[in-house]
Structure 1
Amino acid sequence: MAKVGGRSAWIAWPALLFCAAVVLVLLWLAAPGVPGAISFVGDTLRSATTTSVASAPEEVEEAATDCRTLYPDRLWAELTWTPEVLLSQNGAAPATTSTLAQALAPTVRFTCTWTTEDGRSVSTTLADVATGSGAIASAALASEGFSCEDDGGRLHCERTTADVVELHDLRGTAWLSTVLTNWQPEEYGAQTVSRAFPR
């Protein structure tokens, strides 16, 4: 075996043994900390998973308190990016053409009205009504040509007249009323219902 000039075996071998000894000593010193490190990493991963799973339902459980919280992010983006759109939030009465607003005498929480320059509009009102208003609403709306159905304890009624679609949803003492004129964003009713009546 050829030797490389300038290197001495009697120095290389002790240096190699010294390095190996240092590595072994470091491993021996680190050994007691291995279970703690594994436990720390495991706890960190478990807490991150638990937090993300637990936080998702909390967002859904909170009922809408204003126009921004009434709309899921996807629907909010679709509405706000509509050209020449204007949002008005106030305490106006529901925009419905039915006599239901008079019959229920609601206490309006807020009304969100989106309008565009080309004449399209969407008006949604979230209001509080008296207990047992579902039966009154069902009878009143059915007599005015609305189709109504019970959807898991929530009364849902709707009617389409020319370019106007009216949606009414009641559950407990909450009433969500929507009037869409020449404008029907995808799954608008279902998306606002999910925020107005959290499960």
Structure 2
Amino acid sequence: MEIGVLTMQRGEVSRFLYSPAYAYGALGCPPLIPPSATVLFEMEILDFLDTAESDSFFALSPNHQAIFPLEKVLEVATTERKFGNCLFKRNRFDDAKDRYKRASFYLSRLGKSEEERRQLETARLPVNLNLALTYLRLERPRNSLEWGEKALAIDNKNVKALFRCGQACLELKEYEKARTFLLRAQKLEPFNSEINGELKRLSRYFFYL
């Protein structure tokens, strides 16, 4: 199956017929697959990410990574971020975090010009936001706040960053800081139901203080 899938292209539908020796053998898989069954699999490639170039880049020494063209660095960082997104959607938050951290590592280089620095910051922002959200899912609000503040260092009016920092502070029981972040977010998006919902939840804690 692995060999067959490697021959397929995005959007392709293929059927693979396997003899018992390559399927479930003499025992089968009761109650669905009888003993010694020849099995037909139909598979469709919905999408895929080619991480070979990213893996090769990660294996290079820091000196070799430093001389890579910025365009290539941005490409491999984007691949890592997209891979992280796929893992996040499958609730594999710890694995997603590792891919986002790799993307962040790639983007940590210093730009040689103002334009390069701008491109790197533009690429860092979604990675920082993704890490802030992922750490919330991992119930590690201190790390979430760290990455949310890194996102705000790039764009201090980013609503997602303000919201996630507010959520992290709420989990950390730092209620004044949570209120400050959430009110800043609400000022930018006054009708955002998620922001208003968190402010409502926060108000209960102030009631008991």
TM range (shorter): under 0.3
Compare relative contact order (CA 8 Å, sep 6+) and give the higher one, 1 or 2.
1
Higher strand share: 1
TM-score of the pair, normalised by structure 2 = 0.21
TM-score of the pair, normalised by structure 1 = 0.22
Q: Which has the larger radius of gyration?
A: 1
Higher helix share: 2
